[in-house]
Structure 1
Amino acid sequence: MEFWKDFSEASDKVALIEDEKQIKYGQLEEMVNQLIKKYDNRKLAFLVCTNTIESVAIYLSLLRAQIPVVLINEHIENELLAQLIDLYKPFYFWDNRSEELNGYHKADSFERYNLRMNQEDIDYPIHEELGVLLTTSGSTGSPKLVRQSYKNIQSNTDSIVTYLNITDSDCALTTLPMHYTYGLSIINTHIAQRATLVLTNATPMQKKFWSLIAEHKVTTFGGVPYTYEMLKRVHFFNKDIDSLRYLTQAGGRLGVDLHKEFAEGCADHNIDFVVMYGQTEATARMSYLPPQKTLEKIGSIGIAIPNGKFWLIDENENVISEPEIAGELIYQGENVTMGYAQSFADLNLGYDNGNVLHTGDVAKYDKEGYFYIVGRKKRFLKIYGNRINLDEVEKILKQKGVDAVACGKDDNLKVCVLQDADKTKAEEVLLNNTNIPRFGMKVYVVNEIPRNSSGKIMYTELENSL
């Protein structure tokens, strides 16, 4: 049975904690059933996500009512939100904002959230298996969404629960936003096991983060590489962390030194440290590094999750059958999503990939079958967990009148311009038109952009010159 179907068997177990408020699974069951009554037809919903009891309850009610939902970043720019509404034409719109929404009327409410409905009688076909739509974890503001089916969500949840051995005695702290595939997977897996979720936006740099861990005897939380940099800065292993059973890491490659430091420290404190790898296109997770191997295999993304499979192909799409040879990483599993959507017209599409995902990452495996990412086939990098398409960065700058070339590595976007006047403008454009933080980028003024004989930019040479 899908994990969102019935919570009554765990009615006395604490489900969600937010500040001073906590609700049990029995109360959550009542909430979800009351919320379902607000939906008349199976039409698209938008949910502006927050790490709150209402947001999680609304999400679960939409799953149970089989109302497909786009999960929206609460900090989304108004311009991008308007573009998404125009492209996808949602009928239901859940948010906790006070301002009016053009084209919608307030039909109902649920505590701090408003349910708005489209003033037009929107009606277009939607595939029966379509459950959730997420952005591709990027920050460039692309309206392209990933179409996740109910089967995708349940399959990936089952696999993660299995390899992390999550039980109803676990208590997870939400260190990541709900609209982000990794943050959502933490919610899904702990709800599935009728465990407890402590909902917060607190970071390791805040006292509240540590008081919540102590007060609620938190057993787990997850983080992107930047989270672990913060944990190092605040001397994580000197904190009161006795209740912690395991930590997870995903959302980008962890530096070798940081991986080693946390692997060793967690081993000393009897905490499992689990490095993972995933993409929104695979619902969330594709691999994990078993904690008993984390020191031996530093830098590895591990092995495929239960019911998943990895292999590598060369440039001619031949399967690579020997260790230590790099090729594109291919994944197969029921968690491979239905494909992309660019507008409401794509919401009736079925699966377009046979449960096979070309990850775009270049990897190799060792003699024991453990995989290591060695580069990116396409021009993507991750800035503190958010995937950035370098071509999209260049396109945004071009649209604003700045000729620039983007390159870099994870957590370090480099943008090159040819004129001093463009340096400040490029910084302003990126800060105002993307969610890339200032400390994740640097703009350089260069004398020339190296190109090969056919005029293609030589990105590696450019980056090496900076």
Structure 2
Amino acid sequence: MTIQLLPARVPFADELARYADRPAVFAGDLVLSYRELADRVGAVAARLGPLRRLVALAAANDLDSLVAYLAALSAGHPLLLVPADKPAALQSLVAAYDPDVVMRPGDGEPVLEKRRPGSRHELHPELALLLSTSGSTGTPKLVRLSHENLQANAEAIAEYLSIGTGDRAATTLPMHYCYGLSVINSHLLRGAGLVLTDLSVVDPCFWELFRSRRATSFAAVPYTFELLERVGFPGMDLPSLRYLTQAGGRLDPDTVVRYAGLGRRRGWDLFVMYGQTEATARMAYLPPDLAAGNPGMIGVPVPGGAFRIDPVPGLADGELVYTGPNVMLGYAGNPADLAAGRTIEELRTGDLARQHPSGLYEVVGRRSRFVKIVGLRIDLGQVERILAALGVPAAAAGSDHRLVIAVEGGHEPGLLAKTLAREIGLPRTAIGVHAVERLPRLPTGKLDYAAVLALDAPEPAEPRSGPADGPDDVRTILAETLERSDVGEDDTFVSLGGDSLSYVAASLRLERALGSLPPDWHLRTVRELAPRPQQRRRMRRFFAPLEAGIVLRAVAIVFIIGTHAHLFHWPGMAHVLMAVAGYNFARFQLNGGRLSRLRRQLRSLGRIVVPSLAFIAFAYLATDRYSPANLVLLNSFLGPETWTTQWDFWFIEMLVYVLGAMAVLLAVPWADRAERRFPLAFPLALTAAGLLTRFGIVELSVPKPAPVLWLFALGWAIARARTLPQRAAVSAIAALAVPGFFGDPARDATILAGILVLAWLPAVPVPAGLHRLLALLASSSLYAYLTHWLVYPGLAPISPALAVAASLAAGAAYWALCLWLTNTVRRRRTAGAGTGPKGRG
């Protein structure tokens, strides 16, 4: 056992108390001052003891992890940082490096597992931190960083970002990732605040937190900008935002120009940055005022750093070499390397670069991004640039035998392969182009080139059945439910295009896999849904909660058909379904930018219109009960004023009218902005407008069905009501508006009860054995509504119960048929586009 005294510490971690009562950390409802943070750090440092030891920390974006990280740095213990959500990575590195102490987040304070009283390692006095390279986790190859590296890079970043005590950064990147860690270091150096969160930028709760804590910045990787477009970031009102930083890979120039202009108009700056773990994080930055005019540049060296370009034989551009106090000590491949001092003085980045007359540097490719195929040297970066010039986002990988390219969007792979063969001189047979919905990425947002290569690999084995063990199993469920092959750890059900029609199947499968689901699971990422160990062996109870919206849909269709078949008399449930439709519209159709919202809304509308028109056409041809007005869903305008069989499909018509009107309304820029800025007030305004027709103040040209916009808007408002007073206000509006709607107290009471259940009961306890049945009824409710008009009339005189059961079975069969046809068409289209094997990518 080696006994070593504690050496010098990292100053920004050791001097926290100098900022006294300045707010340091915002973690949930807790606000911690620098003095209080220093006290907590000191307490954990004391628990680590006076002998210098190798410490491994399984880190998350939480207070315990932050305190543990700072305690190790302030006390001089070399720290090996790994992600808390990847136990396999922690296990691998613990096996490889045998740390003396393992720390994990606990319940209010870090948990320390002391594996020995001293240390078995020789630890170099300058060694402070060990990080995995290039976003990888679990690999034995680590970057060795010194106390000076961490302090110098934090100072350089704080200088060019002008970080002050009034700044507050939201932690949008993992703590174990060097970029995310640099945000923490640079802000603590200057006495700024950290808004600790692991929420994704696609989660509305993240933006509520950002506004409430008056955060001034957040960090983004290229993939983050795709997510920002989905949630409508360009239209958000963020008065406290001072700057946005980008690193973690090359951001395409068009996006740089667009966001630089957006920032200029909104009063914040865009900092495009360049770095590597081997340089502790940052090596260069592009001044914001130069971004729009130089969107392809990495900019200038950070303060204290310098570049040079060394020639590379056979290439026009040379390799970028960086020097500065933030250059790592060297690599570690095993525990013996922890005793080594500095083994390199400069960092050969592996990037090919050029310097422009303006003094700005541009990275044009990677030395290692070359392959030799049939004797030709192929620049994979150039392949991507050729396709980018054609407007095709792509990721290129390759071996000595074949060039493999993933292209995003609905492009024709064969045509692109021919174009590339002509441009770069390769035989067509040596190029494989695969169309994917989204380019595969690592958790850090960088392109996943291993996944690109795997597109040419044999079809992977079918996933195992049984309970989920982690993100891959959650990913499999979403991929199969939504027929997506590109589900990543940062995707959510909503971001993947899920809607109310696919929600039921996904929620039931996830519930069986995970044991229980949070109410906002559809907004949580695959990583966030991964089960904790204690979830994996949860005993199933006889009664288990099922989401109220699912129960209402299942119960409503039974009551609707049962009433029509005269099994019992319980009207009003169709109008409850209209409120449920508004509730689901708000949950699934209002994420992303204006155009992506519109696409999602039209796609969802199509999933109602197409099966409805197909069945109504069949009913029109098979019976004499319907008219041409039914075929085009215009009976409400053109049909008879008296109730006849032609009014059977009124609910479908009214739902299509309302959804279509909402799609048109929200496609208008000012309406889109208003809905984002006033998420609850907007549907309440629509409710008020609908109540004008409900109370007859405004007369509609639709002759027969009672007005339903206000019910749809009330359901929408329920989904947006986040607090108890807000839910109470929406409930009060329902209590005032519903009575007297039909003049039938029982019917009105049914509608009001359904709305109140939706508002106040996120889930309803039902026998666990009924979950699958209720899910089937809810999923097929629209289809059962369509088909029952042709099924129950012939059976009701014989047995009303048989009529109801047959109607529900017919609806389930029609739902299954439509689902099979949709998936078959999608698979054939995907196969025709050359998407490649099913799986991530």
Common fold by TM > 0.5 = yes
Deviations for 1:258-281, whole angstroms, at most 9, x for unmatched residues?
111101100111111100000000
Q: Distance in 1 between matches of 2:218 and 2:456?
A: 44
**1:204 Cα deviation (Å)?**
1.6
Residues of 1 paired with 2:96 and 2:257: CA distance?
A: 45
Give how far 1:112 is off: 4.7
| Contact 1:89/1:122 (8 A) holds in 2 | no
Residue deviations 1:327-386 (CA, integer Å, cap 9, x gap): 1111111100011111111101111111x100011111211121111111114999xxxx
Q: Which position in structure 2 is the counterpart of 1:13?
A: 22
CA contact (8 A) 1:423 1:443 kept: no
The CA distance in 2 between the partners of 1:389 and 1:340, in whole Å, is 26
> Which one of the candidate residues 238, 254, 259 is aligned to 1:257?
254
Question: 1:205 aligned to 202, 209, 216, which one?
Answer: 202
Q: Runs of 5+ in structure 1 lacking a partner?
A: 98-109, 383-387, 395-404, 446-466
Q: 1:3 to 1:96 in 2, by over 3 A?
A: closer
Structure 2 counterpart of 1:273, one-letter code:
L
Name the amino acid aligned to 1:55: S
Q: Which residue of 2 aligns with 1:449?
A: none
Q: Of 329, 332, 351, which aligns to 2:323?
A: 332
- For residues 407-458 of structure 1, give each alpha carbon's deviation from its aligned partner in whole angstroms, at most 9, with x where no partner exists: 9996363225767xx2224999xx969x9x945799848xxxxxxxxxxxxx
Q: State the one-letter code of the partner of 2:272.
A: V
- Is residue 2:156 matched to residue 1:164? no
Aligned-pair CA distance for 1:214: 1.0
The one-letter code matched in structure 2 to 1:33 is: G
More strand by share: 1
Cα distance between partner residues in 1 of 2:96 and 2:137: 17
Structure 2 residue corresponding to 1:307, chosen from 304, 312, 316: 304
The equivalences for 1:263-342 within 5 A come to 263-316=260-313, 326-342=317-333
Please tell me whether residue 371 in structure 1 is matched to residue 407 in structure 2. no
Q: Which amino acid aligns with 2:108?
A: E
Which of 108, 112, 115 aligns to 1:111? It is: 108
Aligned equivalents of 1:425 and 1:272: distance in 2? 47
Partner of 2:77: 67
Equivalent residue number for residue 480 of structure 2? none
2:397 counterpart of 1:359: no
Look up the equivalent residue of 1:2 and give its one-letter code: P
What is the alpha-carbon distance in structure 2 between the residues aligned to residue 144 and residue 49 of structure 1?
19
Distance 2:237 2:96 in 1: 48
Partner of 1:415: 453
1:30 and 2:39 equivalent? yes
Q: 1:371 to 1:64 in 2, by over 3 A?
A: same
Deviation larger for 234-243 or 246-255: 234-243
Is 1:222 aligned with 2:212? no
How far residue 160 of structure 1 moved from its aligned partner, in angstroms, is 0.6
Contact 2:65 2:105 in 1 (8 A): no
Counterpart contact for 1:246–1:272, Cα < 8 Å: yes
> Is 1:406–1:415's contact at 8 Å kept on the other side of the alignment?
no
Q: CA deviation at 1:192?
A: 0.4
With 246-255 and 6-15 compared, the bigger mean Cα shift is at 6-15
Aligned to 1:185, what secondary structure does the other structure show? helix
Residue identity in the other structure for 2:368: K
Any idea what SS the aligned residue of 1:274 has?
strand
Tell me how far apart the structure 2 counterparts of residues 406 and 76 of structure 1 sit (CA, whole Å): 32
Contact 1:288 1:301 in 2 (8 A): yes
Q: State the secondary structure of the residue aligned to 2:11.
A: coil
Q: For 1:416 and 1:389, how far apart are their aligned partners in 2?
A: 10
TM-score normalised by length of structure 2: 0.45
> For the structure 1 residues 348 and 432, does the alpha-carbon distance in structure 2 shift closer, same or farther, using more than 3 Å as the test?
farther
Local SS of the residue matching 2:13: coil
More RCO (CA 8 Å, sep 6+): 1
| Structure 2 residue aligned with 1:195 | 192
Question: Is the Cα–Cα contact under 8 Å of residues 308 and 334 in structure 1 kept in the other structure?
Answer: yes
What amino acid is aligned across from residue 152 of structure 1 in structure 2? N
Alpha-carbon spacing, 1:210–1:122, altered in 2? closer, same or farther (3 Å) = same
- What is the number of residues matched between the two proteins? 402
Q: Determine helix, strand or coil for the equivalent of 2:131.
A: strand
Query: Does structure 1 conserve the Cα–Cα contact (< 8 Å) formed by 2:52 and 2:77?
Result: yes
Percent identity of paired positions between Structure 1 and Structure 2: 36
Cα-to-partner distance string for 1:236-276 (whole Å, 9 max, x where unaligned): 12112111111100000101221111011001111111000
- On the 8 A contact 1:415/1:443 being kept in 2, the answer is no
CA contact (8 A) 2:44 2:68 kept: yes
SS across alignment from 1:415 = helix
Q: Distance in 1 between matches of 2:280 and 2:460?
A: 38
Is the 1:140–1:389 contact (alpha carbons within 8 Å) kept by the matching residues of 2? Answer: no
**Paired residues of 2:398 and 2:453 also in contact (CA < 8 A):** no
- The answer to whether residue 41 in structure 2 is matched with residue 3 in structure 1 is no
The CA RMSD over aligned residues, in Å, is 3.2
After TM superposition, the structure 1 = structure 2 runs for residues 56-135 of structure 1, keeping only pairs within 5 Å, are 56-78=66-88, 80-96=89-105, 111-119=108-116, 122-135=119-132
TM-score, normalised relative to structure 1? 0.79
Determine which of 36, 43, 58 is the counterpart of 1:48: 58
Give the AA of the match of 2:201.
P
Which consecutive residues of structure 2, in runs of 5 or more, have no partner in the other structure? Answer: 1-9, 371-379, 382-395, 403-431, 441-445, 465-470, 476-484, 490-833
Checking the alignment, whether the CA contact within 8 Å between 1:426 and 1:443 is kept in structure 2 is no
Q: 1:286 to 1:417 in 2, by over 3 A?
A: closer
> In the aligned structure 2, how far is the partner of 1:178 from the partner of 1:242?
26
CA contact (8 A) 2:145 2:328 kept: yes
Deviation at 1:197, TM superposition (A): 0.4
Pair member with larger Rg:
2
| 1:247 and 1:273 in contact (8 A); partners too | yes
Structure 2: which amino acid aligns with 1:125? E
Secondary structure at the aligned position of 1:298 is classed as coil
Shift of 1:233: 1.9
